[in-house]
Amino acid sequence: DVKVTQSSRYLVKRTGEKVFLECVQDMDHENMFWYRQDPGLGLRLIYFSYDVKMKEKGDIPEGYSVSREKKERFSLILESASTNQTSMYLCASQELGGYNEQFFGPGTRLTVL
Amino acid sequence: QKEVEQDPGPLSVPEGAIVSLNCTYSNSAFQYFMWYRQYSRKGPELLMYTYSSGNKEDGRFTAQVDKSSKYISLFIRDSQPSDSATYLCALASNTGNQFYFGTGTSLTVIP
């Protein structure tokens, strides 16, 4: 079974802090994604990556950056957290090539005070 | 205009009812139509997907795609309390990599 794990289930940070969210997948998938999920807005794509050291902006990249130094690990970075970044953050992985299922991690509920 | 529109609900039905969940979309390039189920405090999991038009059945679940109307549906027969979750539709083009999600419909099945 594919397993996508996220470093924290719940996280509380203060405004202005640098925040790291980590995601690890164990199925050797090339594609990895970061979404945020908010009530009434659904899942919105922040960044995705098709390969190591490769990244593409999604629909809402402002205020975020990502890092993919190893194939299995995709990190989301909030350089200076703000209250409007309080959200559920979901990581997903997907095999490369045509249509393939995206497998999601359990999510990180981030609260920025 | 959003790529995908989905009624957020919430929807509350008695056990055994037939449930109908729907999404509309605007981009005719979408070819893959998916339904994800998300239990509380969990990540979404793929329930079923359909390629192009038509119906697909899996046990108590039926997915329908009407590309001419840009309308997709998920039907749940004989609904069970364990079906209580948020259901998200998701669409993808032929490249298949990037998914566009609806906002999700929250369903509660009352015993």
> Regarding the domain delimited by A4-97+105-112, which CATH topology (the fold level of the hierarchy) does it fall under?
Immunoglobulin-like (2.60.40)
Q: In this predicted model, what pLDDT tens digit does every residue of B7-47 receive, in sequence order?
A: 888 999 999 999 999 999 999 999 999 999 999 989 999 99
**Nearest-neighbour CA in chain B from A37: distance (Å):** 9
Report in angstroms the alpha-carbon separations of B82 from B32, B37, B72, B73.
26, 11, 23, 20
Cβ-Cβ contacts under 8 Å for B96 (sequence gap 6 or more): A97, A98, A99, A100, B32
**Structural domain of residue B19, as residue ranges?**
4-110
Q: In this predicted model, what pLDDT tens digit does every residue of A73-88 receive, in sequence order?
A: 999 999 999 999 999 9
Q: Which residues pair with A77 in a beta bridge?
A: A20, A65
Q: In this predicted model, what pLDDT tens digit does every residue of B65-97 receive, in sequence order?
A: 999 999 999 999 999 999 999 999 999 988 778
Nearest CB partner across the interface for B32, out of A40, A92, A99: A99
CATH number at residue B98: 2.60.40.10
Residues A36-43 have a mean pLDDT of 92
| Residue of A91, A99, A100 for testing the chain B interface, max B β-carbons within 10 Å | A99
| Contact status, residue A76 vs residue A46, Cβ threshold 8 Å | yes
Nearest CB partner across the interface for A102, out of B41, B99, B103: B99
Q: CA–CA separation, A82 vs A52, rounded Å?
A: 28
Domain total in chain B = 1
CA geometry: angle at B2 spanning B23 and A93, to 5°? 75
